[in-house]
Amino acid sequence: QVQVVQSGAEVKKPGASVKVSCKTSGYNFPDYGISWVRQAPGQGLEWMGWISAYYGDTHYAQKLQGRVTLTTDTSTSTAYMELRSLRSDDTAVYYCVREGGDSTSYYFLYWGQGSLVTVSS
């Protein structure tokens, strides 16, 4: 079965960077893209970006352009999200999500358990 397991909670100071990992198993890693979605406390879901696990192409949310980088390591079936220049409003649960679907329809099918990132001085 497909599994998506993320790294643990982090506490960072403003201005620092954080890198969250997302280890997948149970499917052929290059076959599906990975998106990252975050959720600030008590708020809704915010799509951050997407990476093709096959080609490595990326698309980022406009508001995070320049601060976020998505990467993958196909040898370990792991995806990574790095966010730089952290601010207090980056405090959120960060989810890694494996896509489902095909060229006619994409959706977020397998979600990681979430990684809480707290930004505080």
Partner 1 sequence: DIQMTQSPSSLSASVGDRVSITCRASQSISRSLNWYQQTPGKAPRLLIFAASTLQSGVPSRFSGSGSGTDFTLTISSLQPEDFATYYCQQSYSTSKTFGQGTKVEIK
Interface residues with partner 1 (CB under 8 A) are: 35, 37, 44-47, 50, 59, 61-62, 95, 100-101, 104-109, 111-114
Least distance from partner 1 to the Cβ atom of residue 105, Å: 4
DSSP state of 30: G
Least distance from partner 1 to the Cβ atom of residue 14, Å: 26
Least distance from partner 1 to the Cβ atom of residue 93, Å: 9
Least distance from partner 1 to the Cβ atom of residue 12, Å: 22
- Report the first-to-last Cα separation within the chain, whole angstroms: 40
What's the CA gap between 67 and 112, in Å, rounded? 22
Which is closer to partner 1, CB of 75 or CB of 107? 107
Which is closer to partner 1, CB of 47 or CB of 54? 47
Unique residue bearing structure tokens 């966010």: 83
Q: How many helices (H) and strands (E) does the chain have?
A: 0, 11
Q: Which residues on adjacent β-strands are paired with residue 108?
A: 99
Which is closer to partner 1, CB of 21 or CB of 61? 61
Unique residue bearing structure tokens 């290059």: 30
What's the CA gap between 94 and 43, in Å, rounded? 13
Which is closer to partner 1, CB of 57 or CB of 82? 57
